[in-house]
Structures are given as structure tokens and as C-alpha cells.
Amino acid sequence: MSEPKFDVAGIGNAIVDVISEGTDAFLIAQGIDKGGMRLIDEEGAASLYDAMGSAIEVSGGSCGNTIAGLAALGGRGAYIGKVRDDQLGAVFTHDIRALGVHFETPAAKIGPATARCLIVVTPDAERSMSTYLGACAGLGPDDVPEDLIKASAITYMEGYLWDPPAAKEAFLKAAGIAHSAGRLVSLTLSDSFCVDRFRDEFRHLAKEEVDILFANEAEIMSLYEVETFDEALQRVRKDCKFAALTRSGAGSVIVGDGEVHVVDAEKVSQLVDTTGAGDLYAAGFLHGLSRGADAATCGRLGSIAAAECIGHFGARPQADLSALVKQKGISI
């Protein structure tokens, strides 16, 4: 097996994040479930955008955030996702390439506009997301370059891909190519909303197709329809080759090779915005894994990246993550 050109190739929904502060009353008025993610149409996106206050606009999407975080840590990242050849599509493309990420997916020339995720952050730092998928839902198997997947040590995909049928085909194609080349496949469950809709399929993926599973506490409990995290953990130990389960302030639990590792959360001086915390945890974890770090170190790297993320608005790192890791005494 040849040496990989990329540490991680991410496949996800190419979305521009629009992040604004708001109140619980605003969420109720707009019919938004606090802490969740809902899909909206183009008209709904325009209406909510007009109702929101001043906002930060940045290229995002769950997987895009992870690959951006990986690049900030010094990793070699590639990204596959669909935008339209419009203004927001150009913003997304410029942003992610400026980070040093390889991004060459052709933009759509017709059809829906580039996707956007409208995120309202309440004073308790909880984020509530309303997503217009637009062009990113047009991602299909033809957008997955075989040579890119073969050249990547890990192919990382988001659960949100499981919604559009063509994106599901792209997911399965990429997983097949990666495994045939002796590479690893990773999945993040993304959201309890996704798990509820595709529970049986996600269970199959976790058991049969995926080498590294990422989930938070709510998602993994929903996957196995259990009442406690400990019950879910026992199911994970039976089903998954390797799993990293995040528990917010309680840190994370890593399962693999018959062992369970508990990793403390990093201390933060101020909790500002939880947007992208799970995405950045995955970035740190995958960076460590691609460099041969042990499970506990991978979890620590994930915690450091997530802690930096929640100390400011937006999911993209503002500090030098590579330098921050070294300050914490980790060398990989």
C-alpha cells in the first residue's frame, strides 16, 4: 500500500454558515426547536435570514469544519462537496482552499443555490440550526474521485449525507474504494434528527462498513434506543471496531481494541458558542489517528480542538491549533 497523499478526505454538505445571536423567545417565534437541526426551503431560508440580527458568514458544514480544523492542526486535508457557481459558492471555495485544503469538486452550473445553515446562538451557548441544502444535495457518485479516496489514509463522512439518495450512493462508493485500497472509513452520526430517520441503516453502517464512529451522547443513545449512556456504550463495544463518543463537559469515551478510554474535557474560561464543537473534536482525533497516536492522545487532541472552538463564535479555529497542542505538551 502506497504512502497516502492526504491524511483525511472529507465528504459532506458544502454549506455556508450564517451565525447570529438570539433569544429563546426568538426561537419560539420562528418555530425553531432549541438545540436541534431542521431542514427548510429557499423561501424559509430567506425569511429567517431577514429576521436574524447581524451575523458572521463563513464556509462551513459539519465535515467542512472538521477538515478545516485538521488543516489548522497541520494535517493534510481534502474535501468533496457540491456548491453552485454563485456568490456563496465562490466564498465557500475560496475559504476552504485558503486553509490549504484540496477542494476540486466542480460547481453546479444549474439548479438550486449554494446551501446555507442559519444558526441562532442563545445566551447559554446552545446553537439551533435551520438548513437550506440547496446545491449540496446534488452531490453524487460521479463527484467522488477514485484516485483521491485511494490517496487518503482516512475517508470521513457525515451522517447528513444519508438524506439525498445520490449522496448516499456517493458515500457507499467512497467507502468501497477506501476499503479496497486498504484505507479507513469514518462516519459521524451528525445529529439525533438523522439517527431517528435512518436508525437501522446507521446501525448496519456502524457494524459492517465503518472503521471509526463518532457520536455524541444523545446520538448514540438514540442509535440504540436506550435510556442511559452506559447501555449505549455496551452496545458500541459489541458492534463497533472503534468509536469516539463525546459527552460535552464530561469529556469523551473512546472504545477500541477491547479497551475503553475516558478522556477529560479541556477547561475553558468562557463558553460562547457550541457550534462545531463535535466537528473540531473529530478534527483533532483524526489528526492524531492519521499520525499514529494512541487512542487516549487522539481523544486529548479532540478535546483541545473542541475547547478552542467553543470559546468564540463560529466553528473555525481562531487560535493556532498546532501551537496550542504543543503548549499542552503533545508532540505527534
- 281: closest CA among 315, 236, 312? 315
pLDDT tier, 48 (very low <50, low <70, confident <90, very high otherwise): very high
Q: Does the pLDDT of residue 195 top 90, yes or no?
A: yes
Q: Does the pLDDT of residue 269 top 80, yes or no?
A: no
Q: Once rounded to an integer, what is the mean pLDDT over residues 23-52? A: 93
Residue 94 C-alpha cell reads as 475560496
The string of pLDDT tens digits covering residues 279-327 is 999 999 999 999 999 999 999 999 999 999 888 777 788 888 888 889 8
Q: What is the pLDDT of residue 276?
A: 83
Q: Does the pLDDT of residue 142 top 80, yes or no?
A: yes
Q: Does the pLDDT of residue 184 top 80, yes or no?
A: yes
Q: Once rounded to an integer, what is the mean pLDDT over residues 122-135? A: 92
Q: What is the pLDDT of residue 288?
A: 97
Q: Does the pLDDT of residue 1 top 70, yes or no?
A: no
pLDDT tier, 139 (very low <50, low <70, confident <90, very high otherwise): very high
Q: What is the pLDDT of residue 163?
A: 83
Q: Once rounded to an integer, what is the mean pLDDT over residues 207-217? A: 96
CA angle 152, 156, 162 (to 5 degrees): 135
Plot region of 31 (φ>0 → left; ψ -120 to 50 → alpha; else → beta): left
Mean pLDDT of the chain: 93
Q: From CA 63, how far away is CA 300, in angstroms rounded?
A: 20
User: Can you name the CATH fold of 6-327?
Assistant: UDP-N-acetylmuramoyl-L-alanine:D-glutamate ligase (3.40.1190)
Residue 128 pairs in a beta bridge with 120
Place of cell 457540491: 82
Residue 133 C-alpha cell reads as 441544502
Q: Does the pLDDT of residue 51 top 90, yes or no?
A: yes
